[in-house]
Amino acid sequence: MILMKKLKVVFSVLMAVLLLAACFVPAVSAADEEECKHIFVFTVVTPADGCKDGVGVYKCTRCGDTQGEPVIVAGDGNHDWGPASVAPYPCALATGTHTCLHCGRTEACTIYPTAEHDWQITVTSAPDRCISGTGYKTCAVCGEQTYIVIPGGEHTWEWVIDSPATEYNPGTKHQVCTVCGAVQNMNTKIPADKSSGGFADAILRWIDSIGSFFGNFFAQIRDLFGGIQF
């Protein structure tokens, strides 16, 4: 009976100790974590390799904990592009893709033509004697279409005088094509032999009249003195 009592006491003490220990152990480790005043420093995990991106994290220098998401360490962007994808038509500019042989990145790229278009011409208005025609050309391979001008002959222009210029009044003229009869440059001014109107012209006319007066005068004197040249 006494033995049983003693055993009970020992058991109770043991249980108490175990319980205490169970409560105490996690409490101690939590206290440790609270104690770390983190110093997060950016730490490269995988360095960039040429154009291949690397990765880094913000890591505590004391406890090794990390903060936030991993951060990309950008590569140098000097990709080693493989061949571009195949364009739908060899004669037409196209947008395709190419893939970097080093990092595997795929990007859009311009694919330049490697062949000439195969043009088929369609005439919509035929060229005339003096007039160019029009039409369009269509590529038999890629279907590209372009408007075209089909050269014709050229007009043969000749001036026609509507009203001739006089000494003081300008005249007019225009051009006619001697082949098809087209006209252009209607009412083009023909300058007067001597300009008309205005004070300066009045003086010019006065000088002219004096000139002709003296011309006549000298002619008369010349006649008077019988063929002497002045």
CB of 70 to Zn ion, least distance (A): 18
For residue 103, state whether it binds Zn ion (rule: CB under 5 A).
yes
Binding map of Zn ion across residues 147-166, x = CB under 5 A, - = no contact: --------x-----------
Contact 87, 94 (CB under 8 A): yes
CB of 92 to Zn ion, least distance (A): 5
For residue 94, state whether it binds Zn ion (rule: CB under 5 A).
no
For residue 111, state whether it binds Zn ion (rule: CB under 5 A).
no
Contact 88, 94 (CB under 8 A): yes
Distance set, CA 204 to CA 164, 194, 198 (Å): 22, 9, 10
Contact 135, 122 (CB under 8 A): yes
For residue 72, state whether it binds Zn ion (rule: CB under 5 A).
no
The sign of the dihedral angle between the CA atoms of 69, 74, 80, 83 is positive
* Cα gap 219→211, rounded to integer Å: 12
- For residues 153 and 215, which CB has a smaller minimum distance to Zn ion in the complex? 153
CB of 24 to Zn ion, least distance (A): 23
For residue 51, state whether it binds Zn ion (rule: CB under 5 A).
yes
User: CB under 8 Å to 68, separation ≥6 — which residues?
Assistant: 57, 58
* From 22-30, 129-137, 201-209, 215-223, span contacting Zn ion (CB under 5 A): 129-137
For residue 87, state whether it binds Zn ion (rule: CB under 5 A).
no
- For residues 52 and 194, which CB has a smaller minimum distance to Zn ion in the complex? 52
Distance set, CA 130 to CA 148, 154, 157, 175 (Å): 17, 4, 11, 14
Choice from 55, 63, 123, 202 touching Zn ion (CB under 5 A): 63
Contact 180, 155 (CB under 8 A): yes
Q: What residue ranges bind Zn ion (CB under 5 A)?
A: 36, 38, 51, 60, 62-63, 79, 91, 100, 102-103, 117, 130, 139, 141-142, 155, 177, 179-180, 182
